[in-house]
Structure 1
Amino acid sequence: MTKHDTSEYGVLVESATLQIQRMLPGPVERIWAYLTDSDKRRQWLAAGDMEMKVGAPFELVWRNSELTSPTGQRPPAAAEEHRMESKITELDPPRKLSFTWGSTGGVTFELEPRGDKVLLTVTHHRALDRSTLLSVSAGWHAHLDVLAAVASGKDPTPFWDNFNKLKQEYDDRLPT
């Protein structure tokens, strides 16, 4: 199992807004490609072509069981595939990308060069109920763990095992 540094955990910056950060190997353009290029993004999050234009709609397609080998134990409620319609709401390449998160919120990615590394800040807005907040927190954390491993040329921890462990940890960490 992955041992997580306390600083790797997401924090609530508002009651329904999670923020999580990762220091990744640069340069910033490389990490930008992992956010915007469908083939690179599917390695750690979800596939889906994006037209790099504010207002452009796109679809994200998750196949979390394909992210790692082995995959770990998928929760019974988790589907093999999940699709979500989104729309780009803010774009400042290669520094900032924001888009809607289905019909319930939005997510912002911000990239900041730090020497030969890049600080990635992910902010997920409007996770209104505890169940959603726990899934969003564990989900972003597990997906970012995969991104950090892939970007560093390492094998990621089995996705579903990590997600399941993190969901319990966030339940213990986040205020009720």
Structure 2
Amino acid sequence: MDSDTFVYTTYIRTTPDELWTALTDPASTRRYWGVAFETEWTPGAPMVWEEGGRRTADPEQLVLAAEPGRLLAYTWHTFTPGWAQAVRLDPEVHRKLLQERRSRVTFDIEPAGDTVKLTVTHGDLEADGLMKGLIGEGWPALISSLKSLLETGEELPEPPR
């Protein structure tokens, strides 16, 4: 595909407020994502990503939009050497990721009867970049685990690496 944007939509049997909490509360995000965010969830607020005891902070990691129960957007994280080592990223893959521009992710939350429509839009990607391929596999798995957590109380098991 020739686009700089990846879009994924699903419907979750939950409420907009419960979905918002699942996207922003550190205890929830750790369960289905393995990541917790330290931020005020206000536009312009810095974000620190905490994953497996590692903290990734960068002045360009920012909340872009935050309307509880409706909209959440932020810049994607920084690919530090510590992060790459912790996730066992091949050094060549890490080098390629560092050459790509910073992307952003937006979560649109819309009531849809007894469900909530969640649209994840990951934009500002390099059209033929490595990140686009990685998130093309990552977001469906992550959002499926989020959906399972909200609908059943249990996140999906992490797939084998």
1:39 to 27, 51, 59: 27
Counting matched residue pairs gives: 134
Identity rate, percent: 27
1:36-72 Cα distance to aligned partner (Å, 9 max, x none): 1111111122212220211100112234xxxxxxxxx
Distance 1:155 1:39 in 2: 13
Q: Deviations over 1:18-48 (max 9, x none)?
A: 0001111121100010111111111122212
Stretches of structure 2 that go unaligned for 5 or more consecutive residues are 79-101
Alignment partner of 1:136 is 2:135? yes
Q: CA deviation at 1:156?
A: 4.5
Q: Distance in 1 between matches of 2:26 and 2:20?
A: 11
Contact 1:37 1:50 in 2 (8 A): no
Q: TM-score, normalising length from structure 2?
A: 0.73
Residue 41 to residue 157, structure 1, CA distance change in 2 (3 Å) = closer
Change (3 A) 1:141 1:114: same
Query: Who is 2:119 aligned against?
Result: 121
Correspondence for 2:4:
16
Q: Cα distance, 1:99 vs. partner?
A: 0.6
Q: How much does 1:130 deviate?
A: 3.5
Aligned residue runs from structure 1 range 80-95, under 5 A: 83=56, 85=58, 86-95=61-70
What is the distance in 2 between the residues matched to 1:81 and 1:159? Answer: 19
How many Å separate the matches in 1 of 2:55 and 2:120?
20
- Match runs of 1:125-164 below 5 Å: 125-128=123-126, 129-153=128-152, 155-161=154-160
Name stretches of at least 5 consecutive residues in structure 1 with no aligned partner. 1-11, 64-79, 165-176
Give the letter for the 2:47 counterpart: F
Aligned partners of 1:151, 1:106: CA distance in 2, in Å?
24
Q: Which of 5, 10, 17 pairs up with 1:29?
A: 17
Question: Residues 14 and 114 of structure 2 are in contact (CA less than 8 Å); yes or no, is this contact kept in structure 1?
Answer: yes
Per-residue CA shift, 1:76-113, capped at 9, x if unaligned?
xxxx9684642111122220011111351111001000
TM-score normalised to structure 1 length: 0.67
Shift of 1:154: 5.7
The 1-side partners of 2:56 and 2:26 are apart by 14
CA change 1:155–1:32 in 2 (3 A) is closer
Q: 1:55 to 1:30 in 2, by over 3 A?
A: same
Take 2:114 and 2:45, find their aligned partners in 1: how far apart are those partners? Answer: 32
Choose from 81, 106, 109 the match for 1:108: 106
